[in-house]
Amino acid sequence: MQTPETRLFVITGGPGAGKSTLIAALAARGLAHRPETGRAIIQDQMAIEGPALPWGDRALFAELMLAAELRSHAEALAQARATGGPVLFDRGIPDVIGYLAVCGLPVLAHLHRAARCRYAPEVFVAPPWPAIFGQDRERRQSFAEAAATHAAMLETYAALGYRPVPLPLAPVEVRVGFVLARIGTSPGSR
């Protein structure tokens, strides 16, 4: 039986693996989406010279990501209930748990409670891909750190009962077709 939660699709993986590019391409076809919260928090914190940064106070950064992901999930769930259509996420609540694991920080009980907010059982995972990996002002991780993040996301989502589905190492249009086929939506149908 389909529930609104089963229409919430996460795309996760390490940084620089093409997640945001894929979501932008899917959004251009009319699919609803939720942006990556981490990048927005980094931009905000850099603008105000705040401490909640992945190269600053990582625990505070994680708490801000968690709060933003919880709001994003609630808004998308309401949208899925109202429209019956899919909503794509550039990362989800479990990504915060994976981030803390990569950082070697404790995963406190409230994060496990937050992870009770569910998404579709299949989670799309963008594997590390050296050909497209790049750094920028907000993405400072090395490729090795990106690969470690990918591994942490696989482990975290699987431990929470999701089925990780690797995205093909292929051009964005191929990835778009792959995702649309898996979620049962044809291009231009929404």
Report yes or no on 89 lying in a domain: yes
Q: What is the pLDDT of residues 128-178, one digit of tens each?
A: 877 776 766 666 677 788 899 999 999 999 999 999 999 999 999 999 999
Convert the pLDDT of each residue in 59-68 to its tens digit: 999 999 999 9
Strand partners, 87: 8, 32
User: What is the 3 state secondary structure string of 119-149?
Assistant: CCCEEEEECCCCCCCCCCCCCCCCHHHHHHH
* Domain housing 164: 4-183
Taking the C-alpha atoms of residue 43 and residue 53, their distance in angstroms, rounded to an integer, is 9
pLDDT tens sequence across 65-122: 999 999 999 999 999 999 999 999 999 999 999 999 999 999 999 999 999 999 999 9
CATH number at residue 131: 3.40.50.300
**Residue 190 clears pLDDT 70, i.e. is over it:** no
190 within domain boundaries: no
Asked whether residue 189 is assigned to any structural domain, the reply reads no
Residue entry with tokens 């209930």: 81
Query: Which pLDDT score is estimated for 18?
Result: 87
Q: Is the pLDDT of residue 189 over 60?
A: no
Q: Is residue 149 part of a domain?
A: yes
Domain count for the chain, please give it: 1
Model pLDDT, residue 47: 96
19 within a domain of the structure (yes/no):
yes
Residue 150 within any structural domain of the chain: yes
Q: What is the spatial distance between Cα 117 and Cα 92, in angstroms, rounded to a whole number?
A: 10
